[in-house]
A and B are shown apart, each in its own frame.
Chain A
Amino acid sequence: DVKVTQSSRYLVKRTGEKVFLECVQDMDHENMFWYRQDPGLGLRLIYFSYDVKMKEKGDIPEGYSVSREKKERFSLILESASTNQTSMYLCASSQGQGWGKLFFGSGTQLSVL
Chain B
Amino acid sequence: GNSVTQMEGPVTLSEEAFLTINCTYTATGYPSLFWYVQYPGEGLQLLLKATKADDKGSNKGFEATYRKETTSFHLEKGSVQVSDSAVYFCALRGSTLGRLYFGRGTQLTVWP
Is B98 in contact with A104, judged by CB distance below 8 angstroms?
no
The number of chain B residues with a CB under 8 A from chain A is 22
Is A42 in contact with B98, judged by CB distance below 8 angstroms?
no
Binary interface encoding of chain A residues 6-34 relative to chain B, with 1 for a CB under 8 A from any of its CBs, else 0 = 00000000000000000000000001010
Known A-B contacts A41-B104, A42-B102; A4 and B43 likewise in contact (beta carbons under 8 Å): yes
Known A-B contacts A99-B32, A100-B98; A42 and B43 likewise in contact (beta carbons under 8 Å): no
B interface secondary structure, majority: strand
Residues of A within 8 A of B (CB): 4, 31, 33, 35, 40-43, 45, 48, 50, 90, 92, 94, 96-102, 104-107
Q: Which 4 pairs across A and B sit closest by C-beta, in order of nearness?
A: A104-B43, A42-B104, A100-B93, A43-B102
Can you list 25 A-B pairs, Cβ within 8 angstroms, ordered by A? A31-B97, A31-B98, A43-B89, A43-B105, A48-B98, A50-B98, A90-B44, A94-B98, A97-B97, A97-B98, A98-B98, A99-B49, A99-B51, A99-B93, A100-B32, A100-B34, A100-B93, A100-B98, A101-B49, A102-B36, A104-B43, A104-B44, A104-B45, A107-B42, A107-B43
